[in-house]
Amino acid sequence: MLSTHEEQESVLRSSFSLSKMGVLGFSSSSSFVGFFVVLSLVINATVLCNGGKTSRFVRKLEATEDMPLDSDVFQVPPGYNAPQQVHITQGDQVGKAVIVSWVTASEPGSNTVLYWTEGSETKYKAKGKVYTYKYFNYTSGYIHHCTIMNLKYNTKYYYVVGIDHTMREFWFVTPPQVGPDVPYTFGLIGDLGQSFDSNKTLNHYELNPQKGMTVLFVGDLSYADNYPNHDNVRWDTWGRFTERSAAYQPWIWTAGNHEIDFNQSIGETKPFKPYSHRYHVPYKASGSTAPFWYSIKRASAYIIVLSSYSAYGKYTPQYKWLEAELPKVNRTETPWLIVLMHCPWYNSYNYHYMEGETMRVMYEPWFVRYNVDVVFAGHVHAYERSERISNVAYNIVNGLCTPVNDQSAPVYITIGDGGNQEGLATNMTEPQPAYSAYREASFGHAIFHIENRSHAYFSWHRNEDGYSVEADSMSFFNRYWHKIDESTH
């Protein structure tokens, strides 16, 4: 069945983008849509079927190239040994600490961060540590990580790095004190890479009038491993590219498959080597023993980060940690329970199909028992939002193995559409499964805005639209405080 109103909207948008960009889309399998395509030479359509909505809006088919090394976004900042690739993340469990990271190229230089609150004369100093690593024939610059502690909540801080040679100044705003009714706005980006589309995604995130305050990044950062010998120069360019956002607001990191950088043929057998040297996270604060799974509280949210590419079977460190972690979440303090992982459990694209299945089998009963509000994943280079469903009844012999509506279950959102050089995932399983509420192969980002303990609002923004346009959205009712079906069908 076709929804005429949506059809027309989609047609207008796609004709505009096609003529503007001179690119071709793809044709749908529906015969009515096929007829429509021939008639109007318009390729996109919106089809409603068994499940939710499959939007045929496709930005374009061919993958975009990475931005060349001499691109403006990759420029090394001027001045001797100037700090570059500056980025920050939360530095403790509650948001009173920040990890400041940067790279110097010529010599280690100072490890010190100078910081002060807006309008204050008093300046503070914190001292960090410097690290280097080698990867095949690449030697990293001097990678600095410095944790600034005992910050005041809800306060603007300025900070300076490079105090011995070339100083560079940035700022950030600390989150409000952890509490149940604190509004907060998270951005969501996944699988970003460093193509021309990646630059558009970041640009759209920055210019979205909803103003994300912290990025929840669901894995696959630089895609340096797509280059010969995983050319780690592309880790450096990615760090310089993302500095314009990541130096001013925390990016909460999740490890993806492109962070593994395991390659026996070039003698690199320590998984996550470049990623774990460059991106530090406060994993010890949540009792974790490895930086790939950890948790933070931020405003009214409790965020659990999991690793799809670390062992998660029974008795493994990640399993033990998560088993002990979930009962610790106090929904009176942090009503919103959000989980980040790279590989989605519910994915109806023909890419990475069922890759998340083994982890789903291990952990999904816990997510239902502890009323997780939402799970964000990446990996599949497209967008998809599920209904609240679970599939936890199977016991080998009872044959109960289909997803069912479950108001205790999270909504699963795939947001792997950051725009990397591998291009979009356009091939979907047909028909759309009933659990899938909306899916579309376009690049973009999303915003998760928490209003109070009961209400939050999610919106997905495709790069093709204006900055404020919501291509898909959903009002969230908190699973602990307001456990009411919020789906719109």
Ligand X SMILES: *[C@@H]1O[C@H](CO)[C@@H](O)[C@H](O)[C@H]1NC(C)=O
Distance CA 432, CA 50 (A): 6
Regarding 259 and contact with Fe ion (CB under 5 A), the answer is no
Regarding 347 and contact with Fe ion (CB under 5 A), the answer is no
Q: Choose which of 116, 133, 153, 196 interacts with ligand X (CB under 6 A).
A: 196
Structure tokens given for 190: 């996944």
Catalytic amino acids?
A: 352
At 227 the three-state DSSP class reads coil
**Nearest-approach distance from CB 64 to Fe ion, in angstroms:** 17
- 156 to each of 136, 174, 411, how far by Cα in Å? 41, 6, 33
Give 207's Cβ-side CA count (13 Å radius): 14
Regarding 29 and contact with ligand X (CB under 6 A), the answer is no
Query: Which residue lies nearer to ligand X by CB, 139 or 289?
Result: 139
- 477 to each of 29, 302, 455, 484, how far by Cα in Å? 36, 16, 5, 7
Virtual torsion, Cα 398, 326, 344, 217, nearest 10 deg: 180
Q: Choose which of 333, 393, 394, 468 interacts with ligand X (CB under 6 A).
A: 333
Q: Judge contact between 336 and 371, C-beta under 8 A.
A: no
Regarding 153 and contact with ligand X (CB under 6 A), the answer is no
Query: Which residue lies nearer to ligand X by CB, 395 or 488?
Result: 488
Which string of x and - marks every residue 94-133 that binds ligand X (by CB under 6 A)?
----------------------------------------
Q: CA angle at residue 193 from 171 to 438, to 5 degrees?
A: 100
Stretch that binds Fe ion, among 6-14, 51-59, 174-182, 374-382 (CB under 5 A): 374-382
Regarding 330 and contact with ligand X (CB under 6 A), the answer is yes
The option from Fe ion, ligand X, none interacting with 228 (CB < 5 to 8 A, set by class) reads ligand X
Regarding 62 and contact with ligand X (CB under 6 A), the answer is no
**Nearest-approach distance from CB 286 to ligand X, in angstroms:** 16
Cβ burial of 58 (10 Å; 0-12, 13-18, 19+) is: buried
Which residues neighbour 430 within 8 Å (Cβ) at sequence distance 6 or greater?
29, 49
Which residues neighbour 46 within 8 Å (Cβ) at sequence distance 6 or greater?
2, 3, 6, 7, 10, 53, 54, 55, 56, 57
Q: Choose which of 33, 58, 67, 299 interacts with ligand X (CB under 6 A).
A: 67
**Nearest-approach distance from CB 78 to ligand X, in angstroms:** 17
Query: Which residue lies nearer to ligand X by CB, 71 or 358?
Result: 71
Stretch that binds Fe ion, among 74-82, 158-166, 248-256, 470-478 (CB under 5 A): 248-256
Point out which residues bind ligand X (CB under 6 A).
67, 71-73, 137-138, 196, 199, 203, 225, 228-229, 263, 265-266, 330, 332-333, 350, 427, 451-452, 454-455
